Structure 1
Amino acid sequence: MAREQMAEQDPEVRPLDAIDRTILRLLQEDGRASIRSVAERVHVSRANAYSRINRLIEDGVIRGFTARVDHERAGQGASAYITLKIVQNSWRTVREQLITLPGVAHIALVSGDFDVLLLVHTADNRTLRELVLTRLQAIEDVLSSRTLLVFEETDLVVGDRAERAPRPPGPVP
């Protein structure tokens, strides 16, 4: 969290070159890729790849490494997007409370008809109901909420997009 706050406050943003962007793409495809493998694929030395990855981490470009989870297989069979209207200027206070809620996977301050968008994963609809009606509604600065139940979801990463690129119209070979 502290690193994210530092990145938000640090006005100096170093530009990324083509090698940096390629390293990012490779790590998005496989966060467990070795330095050696990354270096070979971008045609730089291991020391150069190592220092570039460390710089991307220190600059807050890479915020961390994570596993892609099948939420249903992990016992989180109910997912939903929840929109919130909140009291004006209460974003930071509300965000700190939302971070502590179980099952919250993503929090965004947005523009439009609502103020906050949450993605949550819970064990079942009963747990989702408890989260929305008891926990969210108990937050003082939350004025209203709307829950959009997710029936099916597809997480995309860089490698997936290339595999799923639309084919031109015509007969399939």
Structure 2
Amino acid sequence: MRDIDDLDKSILKLLSKDGRMSFTEIASQLEVTEKTVRTRYRTLVDQGILEVVGVVNPISLGLKVSAILQLGVESQKLNDVMEKMMSYKEVRHVSLITGEYQLLMQVNVKTYDDLTLFLKDLNTLSGINKSNVMVQLEVNKNTFEIH
């Protein structure tokens, strides 16, 4: 994988603000040709540096309750628990982390009753020895922009 240069970073920065920006608009703003932008874009995608996805706002789908969960997991059960967490439709994000807890997750559900049911189900799983649940009251920023 090659290093990304200033032009690549500029393309990434523009796309991180507006993923639907046309190659023509990017080229105009960066004062390069559209072909240059198209070639750089394809290389960034091919190398796995850039992934183009649609980000859905969970609230717009009626998933109004969001929580961050930290899970303490027995080391010999870590992979099993991680796989199980990734299989839940309510789980939006799973990270392996350092510190007191081994897994960090984001869960989105419609109601607090749904969150309660999810947590009760979680408590039946083998290998989880502790948890910390933080309900998100507001999300004030949820972006990733290149600086």
- TM interval, shorter chain, is 0.7 to 0.9
Unaligned runs of 5+ in 1: 1-12, 163-173
Any idea what SS the aligned residue of 2:95 has?
strand
Moved over 4 A (4+): none
Q: 1:149 to 1:40 in 2, by over 3 A?
A: same
Matches within 5 A, 1:9-158: 13-69=1-57, 71-134=58-121, 136-157=122-143
Any idea what SS the aligned residue of 2:75 has?
coil
Any idea what SS the aligned residue of 2:130 has?
strand
Any idea what SS the aligned residue of 1:72 has?
helix
Mapped to 2, the partners of 1:43 and 1:89 lie a distance apart of 54
Mapped to 2, the partners of 1:48 and 1:91 lie a distance apart of 45
- How far apart are residue 79 of structure 1 and its match? 0.6
Mapped to 2, the partners of 1:26 and 1:89 lie a distance apart of 43
Q: Is the 8 A contact 2:65 2:115 kept in 1?
A: yes
Q: Which has the higher contact order (CA 8 A, sep 6+)?
A: 2
Deviation larger for 19-28 or 54-63: 54-63
Who is 1:167 aligned against? none
Q: Is the 8 A contact 2:19 2:52 kept in 1?
A: no
Any idea what SS the aligned residue of 1:76 has?
coil
Any idea what SS the aligned residue of 1:79 has?
strand
Deviation larger for 57-66 or 27-36: 57-66
Q: 1:23 to 1:139 in 2, by over 3 A?
A: farther
Who is 1:6 aligned against? none
Q: Is the 8 A contact 2:71 2:102 kept in 1?
A: yes
Q: Percent identity?
A: 22
Deviations 1:88-125 (A, max 9, x none): 15443333221111221211111111111101111011
- How far apart are residue 23 of structure 1 and its match? 0.8
What CA RMSD, in Å, does the superposition of the two structures yield over aligned residues? 2.2
